Amino acid sequence: MLNRRHVLAYPTAQARKELVPAVVAGLPEPMRGPAIAHRVRQAFLADGIPGIVCRPTQACPDNGGQIGFSFPFRIGEERVRSAVPVRADQIEHYVTPYEVMDRAGASPRVVHPVLIELRKVAAAAGVRLGLIGSAAMQVVTGLDYLRPDSDLDVLVEAGGPQQLQRFWQEACALSTRTGTAIDAEIDMQGRCGVKLSEYMSDAELLLAKTISGVELIGRNQFSDETFSKVSLTETASSLATKGVTQWM
């Protein structure tokens, strides 16, 4: 699953020890220094923070990929982050955005009050929600990633445009009513992600994000068959055989 954006990847205990130097070295220049490096090492080793599968920005091992780490502290307004290449055998298990959302729904702790209403909106519209971003990190770690003004970032899996339209309308109304920004990305068969706001615009060319980069795709390439053919709950081996990492 190192070819699926937004999936959480948990390094093995041994891999965490091996990756510490690279994680510290991968901090942006303004975030480097002994004090922040100490906090990063401590959080990375002791708190079990997962990586987020992302587009590689550096060379990766064969059958490997890149994962980014988002830490529960900031420098000013900027969250402390790093990204490192990993081998497949350095990851012990994965958690998809949809599994994170299931955990959020089952938890007695309210991660974000608007999320409760958004889940109802999704159920009524017939779409499946995955949780990503700071809210997802707070669910899986129990650490304080969210702030009162935090956005809600979600992945949307739908069976067709009509479901997306209904979800979009109700989500916009919920956002206006609560003052919480809701940033939704359509999961297009796992091959790419398209911002729901862009899909609902009049644009004929849409920006699609893949594990290897970004590209423009025509609106006329979308049809009912584009949606919901591949689920993130499938195994990594079946995904690989279907070649779902590239837009076709």
One domain, residues 176 and 137: yes
Is this prediction's pTM over 0.85? yes
Which residues have CB under 8 Å from 237's CB, separation 6+?
Answer: none
pLDDT digits (tens, 9 = 90+) for 4-41: 999 999 999 999 999 999 999 999 998 989 999 999 99
pLDDT digits (tens, 9 = 90+) for 158-217: 988 999 999 999 999 999 999 999 999 999 877 789 999 999 999 999 999 999 999 998
One domain, residues 129 and 187: yes
247 domain residue, yes or no: no
One domain, residues 46 and 138: no
One domain, residues 203 and 176: yes
Element (H, E) at 38: helix 34-46
Picking from 95, 121, 144, the residue at the C-terminal end of a domain is: 95
Which range marks the domain in which residue 112 is found? 97-229
Q: Return the percentage of the chain with pLDDT > 70, whole number.
A: 90
Handedness of CA 203, 205, 210, 213 (dihedral sign): negative
In whole angstroms, give the CA distance from residue 9 to residue 12: 10
One domain, residues 102 and 203: yes
Residues 108 and 139: beta-carbon distance below 8 Å:
no
One domain, residues 103 and 84: no
pLDDT value, residue 34: 93
136 domain residue, yes or no: yes
In whole angstroms, give the CA distance from residue 224 to residue 222: 7
Determine the 3-state secondary structure of 226 from DSSP: helix
One domain, residues 130 and 115: yes
Are β-strands 152-157 and 128-132 bridged in parallel, bridged antiparallel, or unpaired? antiparallel
Domain count, the chain: 2
Residue whose token pair is 């599968």: 53
